[in-house]
Structure 1
Amino acid sequence: MTLAILIVGALLLVVLGTVLVIGTAHRLDRLHIRTDAARAGLSAALGRRAAVARVSGLGVRTLADEAEHASTEGRADAEDRLTAALDELDPRGLPEEVAGELADAQIRVVFACRVYNDAVRDTRALRARLLVRVLHLAGTAPLPRYFVITEPAIDTPQARFDEAAAEFSPDRRTGRRRTDRGR
């Protein structure tokens, strides 16, 4: 009877271990798919911003072309240069429709970058686990890399409201308003 209990216990451990490994491998696969989808979304958002920047016609056409045609390694630097140039533009000098499209494209780039970097963070965290490394569950998939760019200065009514609200909201640590710090 004790031999039967040991055999059943060992089989239960094997089944539980197999379920754990299969579940982890499936989660890792889903995270890689999520990262690829987020990368496609980021690429689309960056491409849209480059297209809108080209339409604005304010001397950023060459920077937009460089950013759009840059290699994978140099894309972040090219996008940073484009962001800096777009931040220097005065949106009041643009037609209202183009200025709105540019602000929308900038916002979409920020969101897409955050979504992509969140997916990369989650994928890398799972790949760092001992079980994944020991059993080589990631296979030959390359380790995803973060896409770090300078976030553009976005001037929208909501951004101005958020900035004003942050200025007058109390600091969680001290309970004082942020404008009271110098007093």
Structure 2
Amino acid sequence: MDAADWLTAVVIVVAAAAVIWLAILAATRATRLNRLNIRVDLARASVFAALDRRAVVARAIAASTADPAVAAVLAGAADAAEHAQPADREAAENHLATVLAQTDPADRPAALTAELADAQARVSIARRFYNDSVRDARTLGSRRMVRILHLGGHATLPEFLEISERVAPD
């Protein structure tokens, strides 16, 4: 075997090692992206469960309110938020948060005030966890290798959820 044959063999081995390394890297990125998308889906379910719980608490507050006009507005906002289409969910939840902020905590039982505070805290935590998951998935999904090799398939990148955590009364 002469020098040219050795050089050819070395180039083939190096090229094969590079292809194997890129295949392993692509597989690990695809697996990571899949896990992140699963985490986003689970976090989305957690956010919607927390938002549904807040709507239930809002309906309980509406039922305990002496003013029928406030009760109707609050119950309507809770129903609208709970039954909103996914594209309209953020706006409906923000409206519910605004209506809840306009109610007077002194006009409701202390237990409902505590329940509302707990529900608001759970919404806040779930939303932050969801948005962190979305950020991680979008970061990995926007990498050059992931885009060029279509490691995420044809799925769109997840969107952030922008809902009001705490709204001050007007």
The TM-score, its normalising length taken from structure 1, stands at 0.80
Q: CA offsets, 1:55-77, max 9 Å, x none?
A: 11242111000000001111100
96, 118, 127: which one aligns with 2:132: 118
Q: Larger radius of gyration, structure 1 or 2?
A: 2
Inter-partner Cα distance in structure 2 for 1:139 and 1:15: 21
- Is the 2:40–2:134 contact (alpha carbons within 8 Å) kept by the matching residues of 1? yes
Inter-partner Cα distance in structure 1 for 2:58 and 2:16: 62
Please name the residue that 2:3 is paired with. Answer: none
Inter-partner Cα distance in structure 2 for 1:42 and 1:82: 15
140, 143, 153: which one aligns with 1:129: 143
Paired residue total: 154
1:115: how far off?
1.0
Please name the residue that 1:179 is paired with. Answer: none
- Is the 2:146–2:152 contact (alpha carbons within 8 Å) kept by the matching residues of 1? yes
10, 20, 43: which one aligns with 2:15: 10
Q: CA offsets, 1:32-60, max 9 Å, x none?
A: 00100010000000000000110112421
Q: Which structure ranks higher in relative contact order (CA pairs < 8 Å, sequence separation ≥ 6)?
A: 2
Please name the residue that 1:41 is paired with. Answer: 46
Work out the percentage of aligned pairs sharing the same amino acid.
45
2, 6, 24: which one aligns with 1:19: 24
Please name the residue that 1:29 is paired with. Answer: 34
Q: CA offsets, 1:84-137, max 9 Å, x none?
A: 111112222221211111100011111111111111111111111111111111
93, 96, 121: which one aligns with 1:107: 121
Structure (1/2) with the larger helix percentage: 2
CA RMSD of aligned residues (A): 1.4
Please name the residue that 2:152 is paired with. Answer: 138
74, 85, 92: which one aligns with 1:71: 85
Aligned residue type for 1:54: R
1:4: how far off?
2.6
40, 49, 61: which one aligns with 1:56: 61
Inter-partner Cα distance in structure 2 for 1:46 and 1:142: 24
Please name the residue that 1:97 is paired with. Answer: 111
Which segments of 5 or more consecutive residues in structure 2 lack a partner in the other structure? 1-5, 66-70
Q: CA offsets, 1:152-175, max 9 Å, x none?
A: 259xxxxxxxxxxxxxxxxxxxxx
Inter-partner Cα distance in structure 2 for 1:92 and 1:7: 78
Please name the residue that 2:162 is paired with. Answer: 148
Inter-partner Cα distance in structure 2 for 1:56 and 1:22: 51
Inter-partner Cα distance in structure 1 for 2:14 and 2:104: 71
The TM-score, its normalising length taken from structure 2, stands at 0.86
